[in-house]
Amino acid sequence: MTGQEKFEKAKQRVLLEHRFFASMMMRMKWVADESCNTAWVNGRTVGYNPKYFEQITVRQGMGVVVHEIFHPMLKHHLRIGNKDFELWNEAGDYAINPLIIRYGFELPEGVLLDYRFEGMSAEQIYSILVQERQEEKQKQKEKEKNQDQSDNQDGQDEQSGGQDQPDNQDQSSDQDDNQKESGNQDGQDEDQKESGDQDQDDQDQDDHDQSESDQSGQGIQNEKKSFRDEVRPAVDESGKEADEAERTAQEIEIDIAVTQAAKFAEKAGQGFSGMDRLVKDISTTETPWQQILQNFLYESAKTEYNWSRPSRRHEQYFPSLQNYEAGNIAIVIDSSGSINDDVFNRFINEISTTLENISSEVWVIVADDQIQEAKQISADDLRELKPKGFGGTDFIPAFKWLEENDVQPKALIYLTDLECNSFPEEPNFPVLWAAYGRSAHHAEHMPFGEKIILR
C-alpha cells in the first residue's frame, strides 16, 4: 500500500467512523506536499507528505489526520502572533496530543506527549516552555564557562608535564586501536539488532504491507521516530497572511463549524464522551452578535450545496452570501410584554441587511404565548414590522405553526427575552436563539440550537 493510499484510507475511516471530526475534516483542503517532513496546517489547507504515510499504519494515519484537524479547531493558527514559531508548535502539540489519545486515536511514534501539560491551554504550555528554554540557556552558559576554565587548567597541566608525552601517546594509540575493534563489533551487533527489530512495528490489519515499508532504510527509520508537523499562520483565500478582520471571521467560522459537527455526530449516533465539553471549550471566544448572526445564515445557505468549503468574503468582516439560495428562512419575534423597542429595531435592521444578500423566502412569525401574526415577506419589508401582543411567552406555538402549515425552513432565528421554559421538541433544522434582557444569561441552558446575546 502506497503512502497516498494509506492517507486516503485513513481519511475514509475518519469519515465513516468519526462524524464529528469528519465534519471538521471536510471543511479544509488537503494537498500532497513532499517538501514538508510530515504535515502542516494553516486553518484552510492541510499539506501532508505521502512518503511519511508510507512509514506509519492506517490507524496512526487517522491520528495524524485528527491531529491536523485539532490545531485549527483550537485556533492555534490564529493565536501565533509574535510567539516563537518552534515553541508555539511544540506547545500546540503538547496541548492536543493527550486529547487525541483520550478520544481513542493512535498517534505515530515520537509525538510530543507530556501529561504534566494535560488540561492546559497552548498559551500556558508555551509560557512554561519559554521559561524552561531560558533556564536551559543559562545552564548551558554556566557549563561553557566551567568548560573554558577546565580547558585553561588542562592547558597549564600539559605544559608542566610535557616530558611524559611520548609514553602517553603510545598508550593512547593502543587504546584507540582497542576502541576501534570494539566499535566495529558494536556496529555489527547494532546492525543485527536493527535487522531483528525491523518487523516489530504495529501490524494494523489494514496495513498488511507495513513490514515491507519498514525495510526502506535507516534514514526513514529515524524520520519515523519523530512526528513533528507545522502550524502556520492563518491566511485568506488568496493565500496572503490574514489580517485582523480575516482572523475574526475565521474564529466565527470555526465556532459554528464545531457546533454543527457536534450536531451531525449526535444525529449519526457517533457522539463521544467529552464532546460537549470540547465544543464548549472551543467556542468560548466572545464575538459580536451581528457577526454570529450573519455567519449562521451563511452556514445555513452554504451547507445545502457544499458544507465542506468556505465561500469568498467581502473585503471586510463577513462572508458573501450572494449566489446562494437559503430557501425558507423563518424569523420568530417574541412580542411578550418585556420586549425592548431598541433591541427589536437593531435586530430587525441587522437581519434585514443580511438577508438582502441571500436569495430566500422569509417567513415572519410574531408571537407571545400565541401566534399574533404569520406571513411571508421580503427582506425590505422586515423593517416595517411592529411588535404585537405583549402577553406571556411560549416557544411552542411558532414551531407548531410551521409544522401545521407545512413550512420547512432552512434555518430559524428566534428573537426572545428567554423568560419561558416551554420548549418544543428539537426540530430537524438549525435554530439560533437571539436573546436579550435580564434573562439572556439563561441561553446557556437552552435545550437545543445556537445562542447569541444581543448587547
- Whether 194 has a pLDDT exceeding 50, the answer reads no
Position 295 scores a pLDDT of: 66
Residue 197 or 6, more confident: 6
Provide the CATH topology of domain 288-453: Rossmann fold (3.40.50)
> Chain-wide mean pLDDT for the chain?
77
Place of cell 481513542: 104
Cα–Cα distances in angstroms (integers) from residue 183 to residues 56, 154, 196, in the given order = 32, 28, 20
Position 235 scores a pLDDT of: 93
Question: How many separate helices (H) and strands (E) can be counted in the chain?
Answer: 14, 10
Provide the CATH topology of domain 3-129+223-231: Zincin-like (3.30.2010)
Which residues, in sequence order, are CB contacts of 85 under 8 Å at separation 6+? none
Give pLDDT tens digits for 377-402.
887 788 888 766 667 788 999 999 99
- Whether 322 has a pLDDT exceeding 70, the answer reads no
Position 187 scores a pLDDT of: 46
Among 62-66, 208-212, 411-415, the range with the most confident prediction by mean pLDDT is 62-66
Position 160 scores a pLDDT of: 62
Range of weakest confidence among 29-43, 75-89, 101-115, 323-337: 323-337
Position 56 scores a pLDDT of: 95
Give pLDDT tens digits for 221-240.
333 447 899 999 999 989 99
Position 233 scores a pLDDT of: 94
One-letter amino acid for residue 334 of the chain: D
Among 16-30, 257-271, 425-439, the range with the most confident prediction by mean pLDDT is 16-30
What is the four-CA torsion angle of 265, 270, 276, 282, rounded to 10 degrees?
-60
Q: Where in the chain do CATH 3.40.50 domains reside?
A: 288-453
In whole angstroms, give the CA distance from residue 352 to residue 360: 12
Residue 260 or 152, more confident: 260
DSSP string, 144-172: HHHHHHHHHHHHHHHHHTGGGHHHHHHHH
Yes or no: say if 436 and 340 are a contact pair by the CB < 8 Å rule.
Answer: yes
DSSP secondary structure code for residue 313 in this structure? B
Q: What's the pTM value of the predicted model, to 2 decimals?
A: 0.52
- Whether 308 has a pLDDT exceeding 80, the answer reads no
Q: Where in the chain do CATH 3.30.2010 domains reside?
A: 3-129+223-231
Mean pLDDT over residues 183-187, rounded?
Answer: 48
Position 323 scores a pLDDT of: 42
- Whether 211 has a pLDDT exceeding 50, the answer reads no
Which residues, in sequence order, are CB contacts of 352 under 8 Å at separation 6+? 379, 380, 382, 383
